[in-house]
């Protein structure tokens, strides 16, 4: 067991991180000489808000690379709906069966984060949204959380282990302010020592009234924005607090100083305050988002359509029209006019042939929003 109770890459890659019933049944199938050629599909019957964002493909392809399988999947950042297959794997069952646990873990978690990020970014109406929630998850998966949030459309992330290419942003913690004799001392020290490119987002609710601290921060002449992280036990009418702060800033000649809101922010908060808040720091609503409840099921055995109860048999394709609507059809049936197939080659005979770059995935989401 590792020091921090995490599974290393090699254990995952060899199928050692799996549910025990896969390992036991693999042993039985081997002893019985059974290893049918199958096609499996990854689907879900429910998505928060009715539409999900597909994410986690990069880890999944890395897991399946080198196995004698073919994989077709939606590109990362694609929208998907209930019952649509987001991935298809064809090969002999024993060659990949034990990887189901890790594969679904990759897709369920990352897609849940990306879906939540996209919903919140969409709700923000053009306001900036930042992922501030990696502390709500095990630190070992911080890069995955931030990557999925970035693909989902956030404007930046807070964790220093975010994959290269993602803007890392932050404000200042209450502990930092408390290490100084006064908030003013903390703000001016930050401005004095931070590089010019670091935004001056001054935390303004450590000890005093939000309005008073925000005015003092603005009067330093350095503040890009004032950050409110008021505890819920002290908030009362948060709308009234925000309106008061905005009024006083404008009245005293600080109309260029924005308001940055954080602290338990939800999608509903974003909708409620987006007309007055410049940017949102969102934590658990993104990092702790409900996972997408994907399942992996056989739909074809030795070329014969076959599925368990509750699942649709046969290999399928999802077709997307120019207006974004989708249609599911058997893979042998031509798609609608002007529609494009969404499940495209990702792995052929164990070799990755698809693109897992973050840029294209994020662009798909931003186009949806």
Of the chain, the end-to-end C-alpha distance in Å amounts to 43
Which residues are paired to 260 by β-bridges?
227, 279
Which residues in the chain are classed under CATH 3.90.1170.20? 9-104+301-368
CB–CB of 363/77 below 8 Å? yes
Residue 1's pLDDT is 65
Segment 147-196, tens digit of pLDDT:
999 999 999 999 999 999 999 999 999 999 999 999 999 999 999 999 99
CB–CB of 327/339 below 8 Å? yes
Residue 353's pLDDT is 97
Q: Which two three-digit tokens encode residue 47?
A: 């998505």
Strand pairing of 326-330 and 340-341?
A: unpaired
Annotate the chain with three-state secondary structure: CCCCCCCCHHHHHCCCCCCHHHHHHHHHHHHHCCCCEEEEEEECCCCHHHCEECCCHHHHHHHHCCCCCEEEECCCCCEECCCCCCEEEEEEHHHHHHHHHHHHHHHHHHHHHHHHHHHHHHHCCCCEEEECCHHHCCHHHHHHHHHHHHHCCCCEECCCCCCCCCCECCCCCHHHHHCCCCHHHHHHHHHHHCCCCCCCEEECCCCCCHHHHHHHHHHCCCCCEEEECCCHHHHCCHHHHHHHHHHHHHHCCCCCCEEEEECCCCHHHHHHHCCCCCEEEECHHHHCCCCCCCEEEEEEECCEECCCCCCCCCCEEEEECCCCCEEEEECCCCCCCCCEECCEEEEECCEECCCCCHHHHHHHHHHHC
Length of the chain: 369
Which residues are paired to 43 by β-bridges?
295
Q: Which two three-digit tokens encode residue 122?
A: 């969409």
Q: Spell out, as residue ranges, where the chain has pLDDT lower than 50.
A: 233
Residue 58's pLDDT is 97
Fold for the domain defined by 9-104+301-368: Aldehyde Oxidoreductase; domain 3 (3.90.1170)
Residue 48's pLDDT is 85
- Give the C-alpha separation, 239 to 243, whole Å: 6
Which residues in the chain are classed under CATH 3.20.20.70? 170-275
- Give the C-alpha separation, 19 to 8, whole Å: 16
User: Which class is 170-275 in CATH?
Assistant: alpha beta
């Amino acid at each position: 067991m590792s020091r921090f109770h995490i599974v290393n890459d090699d254990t995952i890659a060899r199928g050692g991180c799996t549910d025990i019933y896969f390992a036991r049944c693999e042993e039985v199938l081997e002893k019985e000489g059974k290893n049918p050629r199958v096609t499996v599909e990854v689907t879900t019957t429910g998505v928060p808000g009715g539409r999900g964002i597909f994410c986690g493909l990069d880890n999944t392809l890395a897991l399946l690379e080198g196995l004698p399988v073919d994989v077709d999947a939606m590109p990362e950042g694609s929208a998907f709906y209930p019952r649509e297959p987001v991935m298809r794997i064809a090969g002999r069952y024993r060659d990949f069966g034990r990887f189901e646990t890790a594969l679904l873990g990759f897709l369920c978690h990352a897609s849940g984060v990306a879906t939540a990020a996209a919903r919140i970014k969409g709700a923000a109406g053009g306001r900036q949204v930042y992922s501030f929630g990696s502390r709500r998850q095990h630190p070992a998966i911080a890069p995955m959380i931030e990557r999925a949030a970035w693909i989902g459309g956030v404007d930046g992330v807070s964790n220093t282990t975010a994959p290269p290419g993602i803007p890392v942003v932050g404000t200042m913690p209450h502990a930092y302010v408390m290490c100084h004799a006064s908030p003013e001392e903390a703000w001016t020290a930050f401005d004095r020592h931070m590089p010019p490119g670091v935004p001056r987002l001054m935390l303004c609710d450590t000890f005093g009234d939000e309005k008073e601290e925000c005015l003092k921060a603005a009067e330093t002449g350095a503040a890009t924005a004032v950050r409110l992280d008021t505890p819920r036990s002290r908030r009362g009418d948060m709308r009234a607090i925000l309106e008061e702060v905005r009024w006083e800033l404008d009245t005293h000649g600080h109309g260029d100083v924005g308001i940055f809101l954080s602290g338990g922010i939800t999608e509903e908060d974003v909708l409620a305050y987006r007309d007055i808040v410049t940017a949102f720091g969102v934590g658990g609503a993104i990092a702790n988002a409900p996972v997408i409840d994907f399942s992996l099921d056989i739909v074809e055995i030795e070329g014969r359509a076959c599925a368990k109860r509750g699942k649709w048999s046969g290999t399928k394709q999802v077709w997307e029209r120019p207006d974004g609507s989708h249609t599911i059809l058997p893979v042998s049936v031509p798609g609608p006019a002007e529609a494009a197939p969404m499940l495209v080659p990702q792995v052929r005979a164990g070799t990755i042939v698809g693109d897992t770059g973050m840029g294209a995935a994020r662009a798909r989401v931003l186009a949806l929003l």
